[in-house]
């Protein structure tokens, strides 16, 4: 006897609650995957190296002056609230010998949390789930970030800048989440001064239907005002200069779009010597196409989002290069048919790259959710959309295997601290000095009295 044919009208489907529970696990999975991938992207030995301001600014000032007195202290003209909040408990509760590893773990978890936050906050503007997952994956797969940005407190501001537009354009469902995200927004704004760019979005959202977003706007305005006031009171010591539009355009293509394909410096220079900026320009075209798709077919909020992402991507890169002011970013002078003598894979390209890369998933979401008249066409577009975002993530994942790190193994932290604890400071002389080295070629000097509470 043949088996009975099931009636599709009466066939049982998984309970809705079961499907909801599965989807609710996506943010948790993103946190874990994002943290693990971030940890793995830097060579193992480099996890034991303290990076730049994590040593001679945030840790040193916390030890010498105390965590609370330096909380709102500026560095290089800006406030860095989040790193200062994080470094105090790390320095106090974790052994000093484990400081770089602990910092890296915290920063990796932070990247995972930002990825999950982007997935959650983009639900209204990017309702197509594969596109939202791709947005989250971009957070921890942007290829150029491993060279300097990931794994240290000094560059957490990059992820604050990436998270800011998603918070500003989100729609909280009540006052409790509104004030929760307002706190996150305040931390971001008081860590990254370039969040001022997203003040331009606020006038478009001052409507009654966005009332739950008003606490977020207030936090953004307050944080940016604090940054501006601090910068006016304690201006950054630098020599900014206008490099010219050709240098900015060339530099953007070289440091933002080209690393999305291959972040290995030797390969990038070979591309540039062989065909100039042709390859990075061709890489920019898909982002331009999807940006136009959103501007033509997207809703008003989606258009504001993409316009803001594109403008912020260009503005953050340009502002950083102008403030830098060095000849190495003059890509109209140090780049020719037979030579390249400038910076490549600049950290300035990380935030700009994140903001630019987001245009593709947003464009895919617009096409996938527009509601085409023909069901078959709609299904085909959705399938193509999935292929597109999977392809974007795959390109980033492959590029990540070709990256390097700027940390230097000779500055390994633990042996220096052990030497200070068991040899230099073992004698009863609290005024004896200890010099600790860290990347990239920096040192900090402490007295044994300052270090003693942090040894164990």
Query: What was the pLDDT predicted at 404?
Result: 73
Contact 394, 152 (CB under 8 A): no
Closest CA to 161 of 319, 298, 27, 18: 319
DSSP H/E element including 183: helix 175-189
Domain hosting residue 82, numbered range: 26-409
Residue 75 covered by a domain: yes
CA distance 92 to 322: 38
Contact 18, 127 (CB under 8 A): no
Asked if residue 12 belongs to a domain, the reply is: no
Does residue 199 sit within a domain? yes
Residues 6+ apart with CB under 8 A from 125: 169, 301, 302, 305, 362, 365
Tell me which residue has tokens 């340009």: 318
Within a domain: residue 70?
yes
Distance between CA atoms of 104 and 8, rounded to whole angstroms? 52
Measured CA to CA in angstroms, residue 308 lies from 138, 200, 295 at distances of 18, 9, 12
Dihedral sign of CA atoms 422, 425, 429, 432 in order:
positive
Q: Which residue has the tokens 């600790």?
A: 436
Size of the chain in residues: 456
Q: What is the pLDDT of residue 11?
A: 41
* Residue 111 is assigned to a structural domain of this protein: yes
- Element holding 65 (H helix, E strand): helix 60-65
Alpha carbon 330 to its chain's center: 25
Q: Tell me whether residue 97 is in a domain.
A: yes
Averaged pLDDT, groups of 10, the chain, 456 residues long: 41 52 86 96 91 94 92 93 95 92 97 98 94 97 92 95 96 96 98 95 89 96 97 86 90 94 88 90 96 94 94 95 85 75 87 97 92 66 90 93 76 92 87 91 92 86
Residue pair 170/132 in contact by the 8 Å Cβ criterion: no
Distance from first CA to last CA of the chain, Å, rounded?
76
Name residue 51's beta-bridge partners.
439
Handedness of CA 398, 404, 407, 413 (dihedral sign): positive
Specify if 187 maps to a domain: yes
Distances 35 to 29, 31, 89, 90, 358 between C-alpha atoms, Å: 10, 6, 20, 18, 20
**Strands (DSSP E) found in 343-449:** 433-438, 442-447
What confidence score (pLDDT) does residue 20 get? 64
Structure tokens at 218: 């207030």
Q: How many domains does the chain have?
A: 1
Residue 256 domain flag: yes
Structure confidence at residue 370 (pLDDT)? 77
């Amino acid at each position: 006897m043949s088996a009975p044919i099931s009636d599709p009208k009466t066939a049982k489907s998984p309970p809705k609650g079961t499907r909801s529970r599965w989807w609710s696990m996506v943010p948790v999975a993103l946190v874990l995957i994002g943290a693990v991938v971030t940890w793995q992207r830097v060579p193992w030995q480099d996890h034991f190296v303290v990076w730049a301001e994590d040593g001679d600014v945030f840790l040193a000032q916390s030890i010498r002056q105390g965590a609370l007195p330096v909380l709102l202290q500026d560095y290089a003209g800006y406030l860095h609230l989040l790193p200062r909040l994080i470094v105090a408990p790390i320095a106090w509760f974790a052994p000093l010998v484990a400081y770089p590893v602990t910092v890296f773990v915290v920063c990796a978890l932070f990247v995972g949390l930002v990825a999950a936050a982007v997935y959650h906050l983009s639900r209204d503007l990017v309702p197509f789930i594969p596109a939202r997952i791709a947005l989250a994956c971009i957070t921890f797969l942007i290829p150029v970030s491993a060279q300097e940005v990931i794994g240290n407190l000094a560059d957490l501001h990059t992820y604050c800048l990436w998270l800011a537009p998603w918070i500003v354009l989100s729609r909280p469902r009540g006052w409790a989440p509104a004030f929760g995200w307002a706190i996150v927004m305040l931390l971001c704004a008081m860590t990254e001064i370039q969040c001022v760019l997203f003040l331009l979005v606020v006038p478009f959202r001052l409507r009654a239907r966005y009332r739950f977003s008003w606490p977020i706007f207030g936090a953004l305005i307050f944080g940016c005002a604090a940054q501006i006031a601090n910068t006016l009171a304690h201006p950054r010591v630098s020599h900014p200069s206008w490099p010219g539009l050709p240098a900015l355009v060339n530099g953007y293509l070289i440091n933002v779009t080209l690393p999305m394909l291959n972040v290995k410096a030797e390969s990038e220079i070979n591309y540039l010597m062989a065909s100039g900026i042709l390859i990075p320009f061709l890489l920019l075209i898909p982002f331009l196409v999807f940006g136009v798709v959103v501007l033509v077919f997207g809703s008003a909020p989606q258009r504001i989002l993409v316009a803001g992402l594109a403008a912020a991507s260009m503005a953050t890169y340009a502002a950083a290069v102008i403030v830098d002011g060095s000849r190495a970013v003059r890509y109209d002078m140090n780049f020719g048919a037979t030579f390249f003598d400038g910076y490549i894979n600049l950290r300035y390209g990380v935030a700009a790259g994140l903001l630019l890369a987001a245009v593709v998933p947003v464009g895919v979401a617009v096409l996938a959710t527009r509601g085409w008249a023909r069901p078959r066409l709609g299904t085909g577009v959705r399938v193509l959309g999935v292929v597109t975002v999977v392809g974007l993530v795959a390109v980033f994942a492959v590029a990540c295997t070709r990256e390097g790190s700027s940390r230097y193994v000779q500055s390994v932290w633990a042996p220096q601290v052990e030497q200070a604890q068991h040899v230099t400071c073992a004698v009863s002389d609290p005024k004896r000095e200890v010099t600790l080295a860290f990347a990239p070629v920096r040192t900090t000097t402490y007295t044994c009295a300052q270090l003693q509470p942090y040894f164990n």
